[in-house]
Amino acid sequence: PARYDDATWGQQLQRIGDELQPSLLLFLRKLRRLEVAPGGSSAPRRMLWEDLAQGEVRITCDGRILRYLPVELQVRPPVPRLDVRVDGTTIALALELDGAASQQDVFAFLPLRS
């Protein structure tokens, strides 16, 4: 992890900002805008979430526009477990609407708390 006293802190922060995927905003429920503004001559990176009609979401990132359809499914355990109290699990996917239809791999699992 980066530390504030490292001489390379700015470079590490720049790399993290460059690696951020716009689709990350889809799963950070309350975050609607993200801006990473590194020092120096680099331009700030901006990502903006916008709700569209019929549940669609538009994410604008550095002039590029991406459209998604987020889908959620609430799953309840069929048999309660005495050792773990779980009311249910939400499965959330974001289907990309632009481009040709193709297989979209699930590459991340992010446990969320209510």
Residue 97: per-residue pLDDT: 86
Using alpha carbons, select from 52, 39, 5, 45 the residue that is nearest to residue 22: 45
Q: Is 32 left (phi over 0), alpha (psi -120 to 50) or beta?
A: alpha
Using alpha carbons, select from 21, 14, 93, 12 the residue that is nearest to residue 55: 93
Render each residue's pLDDT in the chain as its tens digit; 114 residues. 444 555 566 677 667 767 777 877 787 778 888 877 766 656 778 888 898 999 899 989 888 898 988 888 888 878 877 777 777 788 888 888 876 666 766 666 666 665
Residue 7: per-residue pLDDT: 54
Tokens of 42: 């680099």
Note the pTM of the prediction, 2 decimals. 0.65
Integer CA distances (angstroms), 47 to 6, 26, 62, 113, in order:
27, 11, 7, 24
- Helix%, strand%, coil% for the chain, nearest 5: 20, 30, 50
